[in-house]
Amino acid sequence: MTNRIDSLLEAARTHCDEEVLPNVDKWNEVGLWPRSSSDKAGDLGLTGLYAPEEFGGQGLPLGEGIRIYEELGRGDGAYAFALSMHNICTFAACGYGTEVFKNAWARDLTSGRKLANFSLTEPQSGSDATNMYSRAVINGDGTWTISGAKAWVSLAGEADIYFTVVKTTDKPGHQDMAMIAIPADAEGVSFGPLYETPSYNFLPMAEMYLKDVVVSEGNIILPVGQGLQGSLMAIDIARVSIASGCCGLMQSALDTSLAYSANRKMFGGKNIDLDGIQWMLGDVATELEASRLLYRAAANALGTPEGPLMAAHAKRFVPDAAVKAANTCTQVLGGMGLLKPYGMDRLSRLSQMLRIVDGTTEISRVVIGRSLKKRAAQLKTPVIPKGFGES
């Protein structure tokens, strides 16, 4: 397994250097998803990281596979994010899908010939996932008829299938929630105008509309009652994957500022010789190392009782560190940091995007705070010395 992950990390590194970095500015100018590039990622084995080998996947544990996004994030965080979501869907398909679905879709997904996306958020509900209006009616023949709308759907109109969370009754709560895979070409599926997003125009995002969409029961990924639990697990994986991609972004920002500082002449020497510059970049380097340790620990905790809390810690700390790193490294470049060829503006905007998607920093703090309240309830109240504080 060690040889496999090392080989895939090297493949991701090469893909970043040869495919992503030279082309990402052109992708953004054109404003189209680079399907030929994601096809190449599939050929390298980067689109079926967690799927079993019997379906053409790599069979990696989550703790190892998530490291791939650090390499891809060095090229572009939005590209890494999109492939991470595809891998999560592929993992769900191969692990929880029906035999009918796996036979029809698994190998196309693991190979990257078909792309998948996870669809949970709705226009009126982001973090409050149970406030969901999308409804599925289960028909007498076992098919499902689905109507509703989803928001912030990445790979909108580009993915071939959407793993969609729906409710099956009007009752409040999550006991009736399920996940079903909806093919993009199903009758009644449509998309709104693409969102106008800064610095990641190539990643299509839009609302998805479902009007009396009929889907086979063979496409059920998680049955009624398991939709929310499965979605939360997917979100935890996504949060740690984002933290991984953020580390790649931080490395890119640091490398750009180091290369510039080593060549920029100032005050009779090079920028890199100045204590102030060294301290600024030294702080970035320290936070990058801390971020790597944190996201890898969180990745190894996924699937355990500690997984959600560790994912929250990673999603709280690492994207914040990435925002700080991008800003600090831009400052090191001075006026040059504002110029497009250096790419610092793109990294700054990407870091802010990664700070928000799949649970904002504030939502992570809520998760962490709830854990602290539980721990506080288990601790003994400190004994206050008699007479302390009396006047």
DSSP 279-329: HHHHHHHHHHHHHHHHHHHHHHHTTSTTHHHHHHHHHHHHHHHHHHHHHHH
In degrees and rounded to multiples of 5, residue 101 shows phi and psi of -70, -45
CB neighbour list of residue 287: distance below 8 Å, 6 or more residues apart: 250, 321, 324, 325
Q: Rounded to 5 degrees, what angle do the CA atoms 302, 309, 46 make?
A: 35
CATH of 117-224, one of 2.40.110.10, 2.170.130.30, 3.40.50.360, 3.40.50.1820: 2.40.110.10
Residue ranges of the chain assigned to CATH 1.10.540.10 = 2-115
CB 340: neighbour CB atoms within 10 A?
9
Q: Can you say whether residue 317 is alpha, beta or left, with left for phi > 0 and alpha for psi between -120 and 50 degrees?
A: alpha
Paired with 210 in beta bridges are 148, 189
Q: Rounded to 5 degrees, what angle do the CA atoms 38, 104, 303 make?
A: 70
* Among 271, 292, 290, 267, residue whose Cα is nearest residue 280: 271
Which CATH architecture fits 229-377? Up-down Bundle (1.20)
pTM for this predicted structure? 0.92
- Is residue 42 within 8 A of residue 112, CB to CB? The reply is yes
Tens of pLDDT along 242-262?
A: 999 999 999 999 999 999 888
- What's the pLDDT at 381? 80
Tell me whether strands 265-266 and 220-222 are parallel, antiparallel or unpaired: unpaired
Maximum distance among all alpha carbons in the chain?
Answer: 82
Helix, strand, coil distribution of the chain in percent, nearest 5: 55, 15, 30
Spell out, as residue ranges, where the chain has pLDDT lower than 50. none
CA distances, 314 to each of 128, 251, 311, 318, 360 (Å) = 21, 17, 5, 6, 12
Q: Is 170 exposed, middle or buried (0-12, 13-18, 19+ CB in 10 A)?
A: exposed
Class of the CATH domain delimited by 2-115? mainly alpha
- What's the pLDDT at 301? 97
- What's the token pair of residue 4? 């496999």
Residue ranges of the chain assigned to CATH 2.40.110.10 = 117-224
Alpha carbon 2 to its chain centroid, in Å, reads 24
- What's the pLDDT at 387? 67
CB neighbour list of residue 316: distance below 8 Å, 6 or more residues apart: 361, 364, 365, 368
Residue ranges of the chain assigned to CATH 1.20.140.10 = 229-377
What length is written for the chain?
Answer: 391
- What's the pLDDT at 389? 59
